[in-house]
Amino acid sequence: MTIGKTILITGGTGLIGKNLQQLLLSKGYQCKILSSNKSFCNEKNSFYWNINSGFIDKRALENVNYIVHLAGANIAQKRWTAAQKQNILDSRIKSMQLLYNSVDKSKHQISAVISASGVGYYGAYTSEKIYKETDAAAEDFLGNTCLQWENSVAKFSELSIRTVVLRTGVVFAKDGGAIEKLKLFAKFGLSSAFGTGKQYFPWIHIHDLCAMYIKAIEDNTIHGAYNAVAPQHINNKDLTIALAKSLRKPYFLPNVPAFVLKIILGEMAVMLLEGSRVSCEKIQNAGFGFKFNKCEEALRDLIV
């Protein structure tokens, strides 16, 4: 057991944060949550912070051994206006800067900072290339956002703190996320691929993602960037067919034209229309084993 080790989680009330917290508690860890919701902070082990004003409850960092940084505005929540793009970036960078400044000023005992990032690091492109952690960041909005995000995490190494970033694909989970949204269409027999349907769809089951965070916490040899995606490469059309099949629903509709998605979603449509393969070889070589290697296995587990 790991009783005595304390994890501070930002974004702890989100999809990943809630699932990760349950797994950590089951393994004997103690958890603290940083929240921007003052009413939520009335609960035990939940502490208030305000990224815009630069405030953080100093008690949040007391006796913390690890920080897991999941905070950040949902990139798919609103159209990518100039203001929303800035909000997406600031919510990641400013929150990390606030943590860094707070840790730097404290007598900390933090061993590692593990942060989310995204496979958007490699850009919104469709190609036959299989991206690895050594590839450069793309020069588009997602690539630039992820690069700045990861650079803000790397700064903790100046404090002799081990840093890890998990470039996460689309998370498959029961209580939210992409699968829940796609299921709404499939249940009514409206399953349809987007654009050409040939764009790849890097994904990961929530169980494997949380287990990867545990691996990053417990294994001192884990440092730097790792792709948090399942081994199987699947494109949008094949995923849509698999989802319809798992729900015992038909798949017969024509693909949704790209121009329709661009009208509805604006620039954000690239998240649905583009995607390349991403390698998980590095984390596997570090000794991590996936429970859900194939999309069909993940869907069977999640769809009841």
Interval 256-298: pLDDT, tens: 777 787 777 787 778 788 889 999 999 999 999 999 999 999 9
Q: φ and ψ at 210, to 5 degrees? A: -65, -40
Domain spans in the chain, listed from the N-terminal domain onward? 6-237+262-302
Query: Could you identify the residue written with the tokens 């998240």?
Result: 271
The larger pLDDT score, comparing residue 75 to residue 116, is at 116
E strand spans, 182-287: 203-205, 224-228, 277-278
**Mean residue pLDDT across the chain:** 89
Q: Is the pLDDT reported for residue 139 higher than 60?
A: yes
Share of the chain above pLDDT 70, in %: 94
- pTM to 2 decimal places: 0.92
Give 21-83 as a 3 state SS string. Answer: HHHHHHCCCEEEEEECCCCHHHCCCEEEEECCCCEECHHHHCCCCEEEECCCCCCCCCCCCHH
Q: Is the pLDDT reported for residue 128 higher than 80?
A: yes
Residue 230 confidence class, pLDDT cut points 50, 70, 90: very high
Q: Angle CA(54)–CA(6)–CA(71) in degrees, nearest 5?
A: 40
Across the range 237-243, mean pLDDT stands at: 87
Q: Is the pLDDT reported for residue 209 higher than 60?
A: yes
Interval 140-197: pLDDT, tens: 999 999 999 999 999 999 999 999 999 999 999 987 777 777 766 666 565 777 888 8
CATH number of 6-237+262-302: 3.40.50.720
Residue 1 confidence class, pLDDT cut points 50, 70, 90: very low
Concatenating the DSSP letter of every residue in 162-190 gives EEEEEEE-EEE-SSSSHHHHHHHHHHTT-
